[in-house]
Chains A and B, each alone.
Chain A
């Protein structure tokens, strides 16, 4: 007689709480393939854990975002936010699609140049630009978004020194009706600081003021805030023309659009609550079109969307290391990717699915990463199927920030592969080794040996 399939024996407490009237399926369907490539075969070849990026998804998402804005506004330009994911392969997909580069440090600036982005198509944001960075950016004709007065005076000095006219915009912070107010970057709109900066730029005669920029926050769930922001920048543009007779060439609304990830503690999943690109586009373009800006002077609309363009394209696949029972009886599952690789687990309830077909049985589970650190929690409470040691999982929507904020902590960082539009696999970042780390270290002569 053929034996039956074995399933772990379990007993679960039945909690008779108030049922939600909004039914959400509790069964986690396995995800076995990405772009028709078996995830298991990728791990067999490139190891576990493994980051997997889908080029098709990046291109599809970009096209969707571009269509949403360009079908509503005559002059739209995206600039790829390097800090969101500055893997060269990822940046170049966006550049091939037509995105400029948006960088926030000298390192990112050099990366964009090395990728082949023309200097005049690089937007240089952020509070940290050294004099050398600024000189380079001015010489290359890059678009410098000024963050504070110290930077403004640096630029004025450098422009006199090297006799070049820097192309600048100011970053404006403002009250758009959301909390927390992002007022640490740029010049404030409400207290007149932004006007003060604009007047000084116009008075300096050495600088070409070509744009106005704002970035109102991150993971914004409301489109209304963007309507307010666009209206306030449009008001500044109109006032500039009225007062100084100066017409700006672009308005940059920054980024911050929510992706479809679910924030920790959120009642509904992000897939149900995040506004679409059309929603954001409608709010922003309507505000600009309805403003007092003359139709013949409508500025280019620049968007620096990062998260919403790349999150969906990234996956993190790996292996279950162990199961254990906590003191309160809860199940804990330990997986081979922790917060060192999945930095966003600090604020998202990441969707995690099995790769192989599993039973219908689920159990309330806490999912830990492999680090010997108490903070290493990937999901603090999830109704999860009964995965055994050696089973595989995949975490969805990890494309934003994880490959830039990840930590080389306790373990090395693993391989990253990209699946191209034909389903071909490309290794785009090699796993680190002990050598990678030790190459950066210098051990003094007297500390090179010891006797135990």
Chain B
């Protein structure tokens, strides 16, 4: 009989590092994003814009979650899944300063 041991730590609880949008990134109220370093531009949907503004205003993951859960019809697990996907896309596009997961 082979025994497997595994331990895992929830990604949510370990996510404590403050996310920061890179300096110089311009974000308009309509969801248009411009990166002067690369010259690339992006568009956000309304929730994407809301989250990016919350990040910009210095909110951490917990605080952002609370705002969104209070306002929208979404459960915590779904939000968690899409939030991480969104953050990883911001990283892909090189729009975040910190990439550490703590």
**Which A residues have a C-beta under 8 Å from some C-beta of B?**
3-14, 16, 323, 325, 328-329, 359, 361, 388
Contacts and interface: CB of A to CB of B under 8 A. Distances in A.
A9 B68 CA distance: 11
B7 to A, nearest CB: 25
Given A7-B46, A329-B92, 10 more contacts: A6-B72, A6-B74, A8-B86, A9-B47, A9-B48, A9-B86, A10-B44, A323-B85, A329-B89, A329-B93
Interface of B: 33, 40-48, 50-52, 68, 70-74, 78-79, 82-83, 85-86, 88-90, 92-93, 95
B42 A6 contact: no
A369 B8 CA distance: 30
Given A3-B73, A13-B40, A14-B41, A8 B90 contact: no
Contact of A11 (B48, B50, B78): B48
Report which residue of B78, B79, B92, B93 has the largest number of chain A beta carbons within 10 angstroms of its beta carbon.
Answer: B92
B73 A5 contact: yes
19 contacts: A3-B73, A5-B72, A6-B72, A6-B74, A6-B79, A7-B46, A8-B47, A9-B45, A9-B51, A10-B44, A11-B33, A11-B86, A12-B42, A13-B40, A13-B41, A14-B41, A14-B42, A328-B92, A359-B45
Nearest to B31: A11
A13 B72 contact: no
Given A4-B71, A329-B93, A11 B85 contact: no
A8 B82 CA distance: 6
A281 B47 CA distance: 54
Contact of A14 (B43, B85, B90): B43
A11 B47 contact: no
A135 to B, nearest CB: 61
A174 B47 CA distance: 61
Contacts of B48: 9-11
A14 B35 CA distance: 12
B73 A11 contact: no
A226 to B, nearest CB: 47
B71 A9 contact: no
B73 A10 contact: no
Contact of B42 (A8, A11, A328): A11
Contact of A10 (B41, B50, B79, B89): B89
Nearest to B95: A11
Contacts of B42: 11-14
Please classify the interface of chain A as helix (H, G, I), strand (E, B), loop, or mixed, using the class held by over half of its residues.
loop
Listed from nearest, the 3 A-B pairs whose CB atoms lie closest are: A329-B92, A6-B74, A9-B48
B88 A325 contact: yes
Contacts of B51: 9
Nearest to A327: B92
B71 A11 contact: no
A329 B44 CA distance: 15
A323 B79 CA distance: 14
Contacts of A361: 45
A388 B78 CA distance: 10
A166 B41 CA distance: 72
Contact of B73 (A4, A323, A359, A388): A4
A4 B82 contact: no
Given A13-B40, A13-B42, A329-B93, A7 B47 contact: yes
A315 to B, nearest CB: 29
A4 B72 contact: yes
B86 A6 contact: no
A323 B82 CA distance: 10
A325 B87 CA distance: 11
Report which residue of B44, B48, B50, B71 has the largest number of chain A beta carbons within 10 angstroms of its beta carbon.
Answer: B48
A393 B3 CA distance: 41
B73 to A, nearest CB: 5
Contacts of A359: 45
Contacts of A12: 42-43
Contacts of B43: 11-12, 14
Given A11-B86, A13-B42, A323-B85, A6 B47 contact: yes
Nearest to A361: B45
A328 B93 CA distance: 10
Contacts of A8: 45, 47, 82, 85-86
A10 B45 contact: yes
A139 to B, nearest CB: 65
Given A5-B72, A325-B85, A13 B93 contact: yes
A328 B46 CA distance: 24
A133 B71 CA distance: 71
Report which residue of A8, A328, A329 has the largest number of chain B beta carbons within 10 angstroms of its beta carbon.
Answer: A8
A323 B84 CA distance: 12
Contacts of A9: 44-45, 47-48, 50-51, 82-83, 86
Contact of A7 (B40, B41, B45): B45
